[in-house]
Every structure is written in structure tokens, then in C-alpha cells.
Amino acid sequence: MERKDVSSWLSGPKETLEQQGVDFGYPGERLGFPQTGVASVARPGRRLVALTLDWFSALFIAKAFGSSMSYTQNSWLVLELFALQIMVLTSLIGSSFGQQIMGIGVRRLDGQRLTVPAVILRTLLILLVVPAVIYDRDGRGLHDKAVGSVVQRIR
């Protein structure tokens, strides 16, 4: 018996399966997307920075226009502005403010833009947080799976 036999559970199931010869491929391979460059699946780092930029832009706008509001009212205003900017910009240009800066965008699996109802549903699921943090090995969260979308690099 070796140390790896006893402590294999520490590395997690994915690494254990990889050590046994299972190949998971790269994110987006099962969907037919390239590994890197334009049209590849956006990695979590870019997506997190884009989300942060979107949130801070909504926070900045709320602070600028809602300075006389209470803390609770201001918090709701930030959330509403965040959702509004994501819905409007994703519907019009295919990516939110932060996503545009980070060079990523939301597309359907066939490469087309999302429909307005799909954008609304996707945004509402993002606001619930949980669907956005549960994702598969291709980096598609439950909110993306629900509307058949993927976040890709656009440049």
C-alpha cells in the first residue's frame, strides 16, 4: 500500500480519474469550440472580472443618482441597475459593460445572439446567484444551460 492509495480522496475525484487515464479535454471541446483564442469558452477569471466591473458600474450610478436614498433603497437600486444594464446591453450588443471590456460575450450554442426572453431569463437566474455558481466542465452555469447559451471570447 502506498501513500497515494490512502490519500487519493484529498485531490478530488477529477484528479483521481485523470490519474487513472480518463481525459476530460479542455472547456468547450464537447461543444466544438477551440481551446484558445476567439470563440473559445471564456475562463472563470475573465468572467469574474467582467461581473465585478458590471457590479461596480451599477454601484457607481446608484451612488451618483441615489445619494438621498436610505441604505436599503440604494441596495435595491444597485441590483435593479445591475440587472437592467445586463439585460439591455446583452440584448443590444451581445455582452454587458464588463464583458465588453474583458473581450467576452454571450452567444447561443449556434453562435447567434440570444433572444430578449432568453436574456431576461438568464439575467434573473444570475440574480439568484446559485444557478450562476453551479457549472459544468465546459464553464456553462445553470443559467447558461437554461437558455442554451455559452460565454465566449469575442476578441
CB-CB neighbours of 6 under 10 Å: 9
Q: How far apart are CA 139 and CA 23, in angstroms?
A: 17
What is the per-residue pLDDT for 3? 61
* DSSP conformation letters of 98-138: HHHHHTEEEEETTSPPPPHHHHHHHHHHHHTSHHHH-B-TT
What is the per-residue pLDDT for 10? 66
Residue 103 · residue 154 · CB < 8 Å: yes
Q: What's the rounded mean pLDDT across residues 30-35? A: 93
Q: What's the rounded mean pLDDT across residues 135-140? A: 90
Give the pLDDT band of residue 45 (cuts 50, 70, 90).
very high
What is the per-residue pLDDT for 21? 77
Q: What's the rounded mean pLDDT across residues 130-152? A: 94
CB-CB neighbours of 50 under 10 Å: 23
What is the per-residue pLDDT for 15? 77
pLDDT at 119 over 60: yes
pLDDT at 8 over 60: no
Mean pLDDT for the chain?
90
What is the per-residue pLDDT for 115? 96
* Model confidence, pTM: 0.84
Q: What's the rounded mean pLDDT across residues 116-140? A: 94
Q: What's the rounded mean pLDDT across residues 49-68? A: 90
Residue 40 · residue 33 · CB < 8 Å: yes
